[in-house]
Amino acid sequence: MDHVSTIEATKAVVTLDVPLPGIIWGWMITLNMWAKSIGTGVILVGAFLLYRHKKEDMPNLRWLMPLISFIALNVFLLFTLLDLHQPLRMVNIFLHPHWTSAITVGAWMASLFTLLITIMALIGFFDAHPDARRHCSLANSCRKMSGFYEKVFPFVVFLAFPVTMYTAIIMAEASARELWTAPAEVVQMLLAAFMVGSASLILIAGKWSDKAKKDLATILALSVMFSFLMYMGEYFFSFKAAEVEATLAYIHSGGSYNLQFWSAMLLGYIIPFFIAWGSLKEYNQIMMKFAALTTLVGLYLAKSTWLEIPQMIPLS
Amino acid sequence: MKLGFLVDLNLCMGCKGCEIACKVENEVPLSSWRLRVKYIDIGTFPDTSRSFTPLRCNHCENAPCERICPVSALHYLDNGIVNIDSSRCIGCAGCMMACPYGAIYMDPESNTADKCTYCAHRIEGGLMPACVVACPVEANIFGDIEDNTSHISRYITEHQGNVQVRKPEKNTDPKHFYVGGGNQTLNPLAHERIEGYGLFNNITHLKTLGDPHHSILDRFLTPIFGGHNDHLKNESFVDMPNEAGLDSHEEGGHH
């Protein structure tokens, strides 16, 4: 027992206790947040582009934007459901809602958002492909409802903001984890949506006008920069509560979370920032697609790190 | 009426009678605890001391678990108990993330959240919680803290200045008090979990939450076709394989 001497006289050591729960919200919740950021981000960034540019500058945006959102939102909803220990009881959120819970409010908003996005995706797709399923009554009904797309779009954009941000309130309600505070997480969720929203649209922006593509590069550069600065501010420069300091020690002290966090910062923030910044002068399609992919990977790693480390410390 | 709990740590001798009584009374499954007694050693040999801290739900007046529960499975009773309705719980684990005291677990048999209810079923029948009855030194004191003549109220009055709650900075307004506690016993960050210092095993973290053999597909099928988790029932604990939910990786002690 030569390691006895390494314990300070003032330190206490747990000599008998039960095993502690480890990671409670794991990779499925990370995937949930990541996919939701894409689902709402493409709508927010798409709306900005439609405000700034003509539709002809972005010919495939009208149908691909809701389609990407639809796919991402379904990934988000699927993994939300799979993460429940009693998934069939998900219906209780609608039958017995508890409105102080951000989980409840979020589930209702996200369900409505997904419904509207589904309608927009169907209308957008069948409008863009007039020969597809010409004898299908659903397809023809969607084509007849074409005007509904533009009518509902402003409401969908409005709804995209709270759907993006409610996860931050859930994290704030998880008050046992002091690393997650509502002000910081709300901004980080919004920035994450702009990051992966622009990254996703960069992947489909091949035939868009140069001005629209440069706007995408601007949004990506600004969002990754501000998000990176927030992470650095939280990591290095704030005076922290003891629990937050203990949580961040899982990165400070090396090990797998250290590698994961700094890989996330490099892939999701530093690399895309310099590529996007460079593309503001001369847009480089290949490099921007590379930046978009690293952003998507980096954000997942960053979310995963920030979600898991507060769960490592003992609460009692 | 507002029911509260007080543990006099000066009296507790770490016999774990309360822990066992709770397990038996509430049929708490293996790898789960509503109440546990933690041993903490302070100092360096030969100047050492050992303290025993019973830990259970604090039945907070401003309970974060109740606030985050999306379906009101966690709810307040009129007597102040934070109760749980397992039949409504969806197993989102939001309450486990919200509880600052780590008092909620995922039941491996029902795959729903569960916790100490101050033995609400016994109280309804006019009985004391099982842990109170089992304590040989009467370190557990339970009663109505709004009644100035109750044992717990008088005990709190007599020990003014030495009555503490865990994590008061969380503003949860706990209704579980300690007499004779200190930073090293009540603050989980003030002590370390070092592998090799445990008395009986090296296990620091559970590997899974709920039933480790409960796959994602089972989560959908079990409520319809029935479960297959008999190996987790208390009566079969002798045959329980070690890998069924326990892990010995050391992740809690290097901060």
Hey, is the C-beta of A8 within 8 angstroms of any chain B C-beta? yes
Q: In the prediction, which pLDDT does A8 show?
A: 64
- Which runs of consecutive H residues, i.e. helices, occur in chain B? 17-26, 64-68, 94-98, 120-124, 130-134, 151-158, 183-186, 216-225
Q: Do A103 and B194 touch (CB under 8 A)?
A: no
Q: In the prediction, which pLDDT does B239 show?
A: 47
Q: How close, in Å, is residue B251 to chain A by CA atoms?
A: 7
In degrees to the nearest 10, what's the CA dihedral of A184, A194, A49, A119? Answer: -100
- Domain assignment present for residue A175? The answer is yes
E strand map for chain A: 12-16, 20-21
Q: In the prediction, which pLDDT does A7 show?
A: 59
**Which residues of chain A lie closer than 8 angstroms to B209, CB-CB?**
21, 24, 85
The predicted complex's ipTM stands at 0.92
Q: In the prediction, which pLDDT does B247 show?
A: 52
Hey, is the C-beta of A280 within 8 angstroms of any chain B C-beta? no
Q: With 70 as the cut, is the pLDDT of residue B214 above it?
A: no
Cis peptide before B108 (omega within 30 of 0): no
- Domain assignment present for residue A290? The answer is yes
Q: In the prediction, which pLDDT does B252 show?
A: 39
Q: In the prediction, which pLDDT does B39 show?
A: 94
Q: In the prediction, which pLDDT does B237 show?
A: 43
Asked whether the CA dihedral A197, A199, A200, A203 is positive or negative, the reply is positive
Q: In the prediction, which pLDDT does B186 show?
A: 93
Domain with A109 in it: 23-311
CB pairs A-B closer than 8 Å: 220
Q: Do B200 and A16 touch (CB under 8 A)?
A: yes
Q: In the prediction, which pLDDT does B255 show?
A: 35
Q: With 70 as the cut, is the pLDDT of residue B249 above it?
A: no
Beta bridge partners, B55, equal B36
Which tokens go with A151? 């009518």
What is the arithmetic mean of pLDDT over B29-38? 92
- Domain assignment present for residue A280? The answer is yes
> Residue A93 contacts by C-beta under 8 Å, 6 or more apart in sequence?
A103, A104, A107, A108, B70, B71, B90
CB B206 within 8 A of CB B246: yes
- pLDDT < 70 stretches in chain A: 1-10, 238
The angle formed by the CA atoms of residues B245, B250 and B255, to the nearest 5 degrees, is 135
- CA of residue A51 relative to chain centroid, distance: 23
How far apart, in Å, are the Cα atoms of A78 and each of A35, A92, B234? 10, 17, 34
Domain with A240 in it: what CATH number? 1.20.1630.10
CA distance A300 to A292: 13
Q: In the prediction, which pLDDT does B230 show?
A: 52
Q: In the prediction, which pLDDT does B144 show?
A: 97
Q: In the prediction, which pLDDT does B200 show?
A: 64
Kindly report the average pLDDT of chain B as a whole number. Answer: 86
**Which residues of chain A lie closer than 8 angstroms to B67, CB-CB?**
100-101, 173
Q: In the prediction, which pLDDT does A85 show?
A: 93
Burial tier of A210 (Cβ tally within 10 Å: 0-12, 13-18, 19+): exposed
Q: B130-154: per-residue pLDDT in tens? A: 999 999 999 999 999 999 999 999 9
CA distance B11 to A301: 48
CB A223 within 8 A of CB A198: yes
**Which residues of chain B lie closer than 8 angstroms to A107, CB-CB?**
70
Domains of chain A: total:
1
Domains of chain B in start order, with CATH, are: 3-180 (3.30.70.20), 192-255 (no CATH)
**Which residues of chain B lie closer than 8 angstroms to A316, CB-CB?**
38, 55, 101-103, 166, 188
- Domain assignment present for residue A2? The answer is no
- Domain assignment present for residue A5? The answer is no
- Report helix, strand and coil shares of chain A as percent, to nearest 5: 75, 0, 20
Option in A17, A97, A249 nearest B36 (CB): A17
- Domain assignment present for residue A12? The answer is no
Which tokens go with A302? 């960053």
**Which residues of chain A lie closer than 8 angstroms to B252, CB-CB?**
20, 312-314
Question: Which of helix, strand or coil describes residue B79?
Answer: coil
CA distance A294 to B51: 51
Q: In the prediction, which pLDDT does B236 show?
A: 43
- Domain assignment present for residue A8? The answer is no
Q: In the prediction, which pLDDT does B253 show?
A: 38
Q: Do B252 and A85 touch (CB under 8 A)?
A: no
